[in-house]
Amino acid sequence: MQKKLIDPDHYHGWHKKRNFFEGWYFKLVDASAKYTFVLIPGIHFGKENKHSHSFIQVLKGKEVNYTYLRFPTHTFFTSNNPFHISIQDNYFSLEQIKLNIVDPEIKIRGIVNFKNILKWPDTLLNPGSMGFYNYIPSMQCYAQVCVMDMDLEGRLNIDGKEIDFSHGKGYVEKNWGKAFPYSWIWIQSNNFSHTKTSLSCSLAHIPFSFSSFRGFLIGLYVDGIFYSFTTINRSRIQILQKESDVSLQVENRRYVLNILTQTRFENFMLLNGPRNGKMVPLVQENLQGEVQVSLKDKKDHKIIFRGMGICSGIEYGGNQMMVLDQKERKS
């Protein structure tokens, strides 16, 4: 029990049989930034047995194509020593993926290895990106940024087309719990012209006990330095939303971070997510977004970083008004 809390990358559903989900999000972008490809392996235990299954979700960013592959629960296997999961003939770890998907809707074969893995810094007191919230047993949904940035090596044959991901960029995160939050915004990019820059941003309105709260986890790596803006470290945030885009300004004691998304509505895909003991369509995701990012030092007003991230993942779910400030809802 203690080990899985200390290492949130690991599987949490060992003794779960009802009303539980866990899924890992593997994002791959080739070196030319022409192809963005996402795999989401996981498992869902419904309130009723008929809704229980394991799954692999496949997203093709360029084609704006989404496939949900359903498997029996017994095909899901996991080990934490070392950590990996497999579903049927498909293997996923933080070192590589091996795919052998043969389905009428989609066929994928190949191996991609992961190198130069960059993690979200953590401690025993604050494990993973979610920190001490991992120790609270009654939360509806937990999140973990497993890999902020990594280099790829390998190829996948996707529906007869060979795609070389070598020298491309990768990212891994996960969620687990009973259901997704009431409302959330998610922004991610590690494809900047400035190498080894990575942004991960999650905001959600989360039910907790008999109440609820707005929480956020935002991390930015630039030049080997990690800048953290979270509910835990008492950062402050302002959010504005216009159509399918958002503008965020978040600050801690030392720094101010500005994030602005740019998307096209037709590039969003509707994905399945856990709600009320079922996997249902409720996630709007775009893999062709752009993100403008600037980071300023408040002490000397110096701009530390300014750049545009491409092949960005931008995702919305639930009632977006719940994650905005009251005064911003009227704007």
pLDDT of residue 330: 37
Q: Give residue limits of the domains in the chain.
A: 2-329
**Partners of residue 269 on adjacent β-strands:** 285
From residue 165, give the alpha-carbon distance in Å to each of 33, 191, 195, 308: 10, 14, 17, 22
Gyration radius of the chain over CA positions? 19
Q: Which amino acid is at 241?
A: Q
pLDDT of residue 327: 41
Torsion angle of the four alpha carbons 218, 226, 171, 271, in this order, in degrees rounded to the nearest 10: 0
Per-residue pLDDT tens, the chain, 331 aa: give them: 444 456 888 999 888 889 999 999 999 999 999 999 999 999 999 999 999 999 999 999 999 999 999 999 999 999 988 899 999 999 999 999 999 999 999 999 999 999 999 999 876 555 556 554 555 566 788 889 999 999 999 999 999 999 999 999 999 999 999 999 888 999 999 999 987 899 999 998 866 655 566 788 999 999 999 999 998 888 999 999 888 899 999 999 999 999 999 999 999 999 999 999 999 999 999 999 999 999 999 999 999 999 999 999 999 987 654 455 544 443 3
pLDDT of residue 329: 40
pLDDT of residue 241: 87
- Report phi then psi at 327, rounded to 5: -65, -25
**Structure-token match 């008999």, residue found:** 210
**Structure-token match 């029990």, residue found:** 1
